[in-house]
A and B are shown apart, each in its own frame.
Chain A
Amino acid sequence: MKDKIMDSLREFGLPRLIITGFLVLLLIMAPFVGADLPTQISNIINRFSWNGILVLAMVPMVHSGCGLNFGLPLGIISGLLGATISIEMGFTGGMSFVVAILVATPFALVFGALYGWLLNKIKGGEMMIATYVGFSSVSLMCMMWLVLPYHSPNMVWGLAGKGLRTTISLEGYFDQALASIARIEIGNISIPTGTLIFFAILAFAIWAFLHTKTGTAMTAVGSNPVFAKAAGINVDRIRMLSVVMSTWLAAIGILVYEQGFGFIQLYMAPFYMALPAVSAILIGGASVNKASIMNVIVGTILFQGIVTMTPTVMNNMIHMDMSEVIRIIASMGMILFALTRKTEASR
């Protein structure tokens, strides 16, 4: 009996236990230190709605055995291209969001296909190379944002008349495009129903996909590529498909993030965006080669909970803003833990 408890504890993982415990503690402490709980909960829900799809983008690649998608910035760039081109084309309001998705899609498909082709060449070393593919693409785009012929006065530097600004306000464009749909307001709590429904649709689509024939094949490729090959599955094609899906989800994810946040952030902003998403899904219970939709939901809530709760609660409690440090240690510790698990390392 004792062994069983220890086993399940080990399975759950000490870091995950600490992080969950920490969040529960924060929630309990919040009212005592004078933080307004409904506001906090509303914040968590909002931030969940912004980040959910970015975390969801991890799932296909983990399933096909490509590991954690540290190359998320590549998909994010497709999304950014979609957003900026949509504004450049003069669309406003909710329409600009739809156009942004439509424009981002071909970019994501092309980038994803190239990225998938590359990852098929280097099986076994995906994660490190994915990280650096993300970095190089972000730094390449830094030059592109300056050079590409954008002219919309709301996006370029006022004086020079060219080169995109580092942050672009989405007011008048797709700011709150999803969140304002059927928004529910109860006292201090405001729920962005539209964004949540959008997330639910995509999450359900991924869940359903994983239960189709191709989806099952994907899981098979991830858990045992040799067996999958013997069963007549085209391993490379399935892996490629999963990478394209991940990249596309990342593109959509950043657009949803932006509509909630209200700004487009360019240049070096996408640089480290993969790390929070990676640690979120790991905190939710995923491992390097296993992830479910439930992991995404739980992980995003836990991670965003810590991000939003620590500054207020800690500030009120010890008058010291340690939130940034706690966030770094918690998220990086979680990734380290996942990377060192023996079962996956021997794969």
Chain B
Amino acid sequence: MNDKKKINLRQASVPIMFIIICIFCIPLSGLSPKMLINEIITRMGRNAFLILSLLIPIMAGMGLNFGMTLGAMAAEIALILVCDWQIVGVPGMVLAAIISVPISVLLGIFCGKILNRAKGREMITSYIMAFFINGIYQIVVLYLMGKVIPIKHSSIKLPRGYGIRNTVSLLSMRQKLDNMLAINVAGVKIPLLTFIIIAIMCLVIVWFRRTKLGQDMRAVGQDMEVARDAGINVERTRIISIVISTVLAGFGMIIYLQNMGNIATYTAHSQIGMFCIAALLVGGASVDKASIGNVFLGVVLFHTMFIVAPRAGAYITGDSMIGEYFRVFVSYAVITVALIMYETNKRKAKSAASMKLKEAQDEE
């Protein structure tokens, strides 16, 4: 019982630290409450879906899926194509989502297969995987698009005739999803439809946990050997969890980009994994345990810090760059601390288990 409390306190320590940072920085930033709430709501709609995509691999015991970037890249390719076909607004987004699915599934299967060969070091492998696929993505977007894959409109092509420009404007889709059904509460714009989609996703995840497949994944996450003895196809289950995560990350990226209004073709996906993972961890999740509550708490706290830190930094030191670097540092530090806590806990649990085993043997 006491142990459980200790673990809870430990998990709560990161959110508490962030609440303190936010309380300290908000007055210094000089933002009005209305502006701040507006920003937080916008960023919540933008990022929550992406972060939800991380939950399933954690459930399957594969840690933080740095390979979610793969889904983001699939979504970008789909959006570029849809943009070229000039299908606008929400239908365009739906079409992009449909196109992104096969690409995400293929990438997910590839990633899952590789991760199965690197059990015990999934995170570093998925991290390197994101870089590797980024290389492939560049080949596709920079060299194949316009040469092999037909791109009609020169507005998104590089002047040399093939390859995509550094930024692709999504003006025709910009905030179309957010503005549909948006309501205004005391000057705060709430993108209701986006939130409904996010809520449905949450329900789907809750439902998924109860299905046979969801239970299998949890069993695999607990102990691969036991799960295998119980007749679960461990490899297949793990691949499915990565595929689901990749597909969801693709959808999340489409929501993210429609809110931003343009695609930074070569950089939009590069940081997305890191920020989503940091946000999830700030919400109190750990490498082997994360809930939907963590996602929302994390989005609010992490993005509040993100909004106010540069301004507060500028106010304190007179240099706006310090705040910029500070928030980057905090994102990395949070991930580092969470990883360290996870590994030390794992070691402790392991040594506790072996102690128990020893005691039992002594008694015999």
Contacts and interface: CB of A to CB of B under 8 A. Distances in A.
A129 B347 contact: no
A292 to B, nearest CB: 23
A336 B138 CA distance: 18
Interface residues of A, number: 37
B172 interface: no
* Most-contacted residue by chain A among B131, B317, B347 (CB, 10 A): B131
B329 A131 contact: no
Contact of B339 (A128, A275, A336, A342): A128
* Most-contacted residue by chain A among B117, B128, B129, B317 (CB, 10 A): B128
Interface stretch (A51-59, A134-142, A181-189): A134-142
A70 B326 CA distance: 22
Interface residues of B, number: 40
Contacts of B136: 329
Interface of A: 70, 118, 121-125, 127-129, 131-133, 135-136, 139-140, 142-143, 146-147, 163, 275, 320, 322, 324-325, 328-329, 332-333, 335-336, 339-340, 342, 345
Interface in B94-148: 114, 117-121, 123-125, 127-129, 131-132, 134-136, 138-139, 142-143
Contacts of A324: 138
B321 interface: yes
Nearest to A136: B332
B132 A332 contact: yes
Given A122-B347, A328-B134, A340 B322 contact: no
B117 A345 contact: yes
A322 B326 CA distance: 35
Interface string B26-37: 000000000000
Q: Which 10 residue pairs of A and B lie closest in terms of their CB atoms, listed nearest first?
A: A328-B135, A122-B343, A332-B132, A329-B135, A139-B329, A340-B117, A125-B343, A132-B336, A142-B325, A136-B332
B139 A325 contact: yes
Contacts of A132: 332, 335-336, 339
B129 A336 contact: yes
Contacts of B319: 146, 163
B344 interface: yes
A163 B125 CA distance: 37
B121 A133 contact: no
Contacts of B128: 332, 335-336, 339
A122 B124 CA distance: 15
A147 B335 CA distance: 24
A124 B346 CA distance: 10
B340 interface: yes
B333 interface: yes
A335 B117 CA distance: 13
Contact of A345 (B121, B127, B143): B121
